[in-house]
Amino acid sequence: MAFRFLDLPPEIRDHVYHDVLSCDQARRPPADDDNPASYHFDLAILQTNKQIHHESKKAFQDNVFIKVTTPWSESIEHIGSEGRVPIIALGPAADAFGLFHLWIWIDAPGVPPRGTAYSMIICLDDLLAFTRMWRFSNLNHQGLNPHLRLKLILQDPHVPDRKIPKALQQRLLQPFGLVKNLHSFSVHGAKLLPSVEDALKKEQAIPEPSPEECLESATALKDVGNNFLQAQDYAAALQSYTDAFAAIHITVSGRKRYIHAEGYYNLRELTTGSYKGQNGHLARIILRVKLVANVIQTYLKTEEWEEARFWGKRSINVFRASFDPHHADDLEGDFERDWAWVRLSAAMGFPAQNAMGKIFYRTALASRALGYKKEEWNLVHAAEVYSPHDEIILRDLREMVEGVNSEHKAGAMS
DSSP 264-304: HHTT-B--SGGGTTSBHHHHHHHHHHHHHHHHHHHHHHTT-
b/e 309-339 (16+ beta carbons within 10 angstroms → b): bbbbbbbbeebbeebbeeeeeebeeebeebe
For residue 336, what are the contacts with CB-CB under 8 A and spacing of at least 6?
none
**Could you give the angle at which helices 305-323 and 353-370 cross, rounded to 10 degrees?**
140
- Return all residues near 252 (Cβ < 8 A) that are at least 6 apart: 242, 245, 246
- Helix, strand, coil percentages (3-state) for the chain, rounded to 5, are 60, 10, 30
**Domain ranges in the chain?**
5-205, 211-413
| One-letter amino acid for residue 406 of the chain | S
pLDDT at position 333: 45
What pTM was estimated for this model as a whole? 0.86
CA-nearest of 374, 350, 357 to 296 is 357
Phi, psi of 362 (to 5 degrees): -70, -35
Directed axis angle between helix 10-21 and helix 50-61, to 10°?
A: 60
CATH of domain 211-413: 1.25.40.10
Which of 48, 43, 159 lies closest to 99, judged by CA?
159
pLDDT in tens, the chain (414 residues): 567 888 888 889 898 888 888 998 888 888 776 677 888 888 888 888 888 888 888 888 899 999 999 988 888 888 877 778 999 999 899 999 999 999 999 999 877 666 688 999 999 999 999 999 999 999 998 889 999 999 999 999 998 888 999 999 999 999 999 999 999 999 999 799 999 999 999 999 999 999 999 999 999 999 999 999 999 999 999 999 999 999 999 998 888 888 999 999 986 799 999 999 999 999 999 999 999 999 999 999 999 999 999 999 999 888 887 776 665 555 554 555 556 778 777 877 778 888 999 999 999 999 999 999 988 988 998 899 888 888 999 999 888 887 766 655 555 555
Q: Burial code of 102-117, b = ≥16 C-beta within 10 A, e = fewer? A: bbbbbbbeeeeeeeee
Q: Which residues contact 43 (CB under 8 A, 6 or more apart)?
A: 21, 60
Number of residues that make up the chain: 414
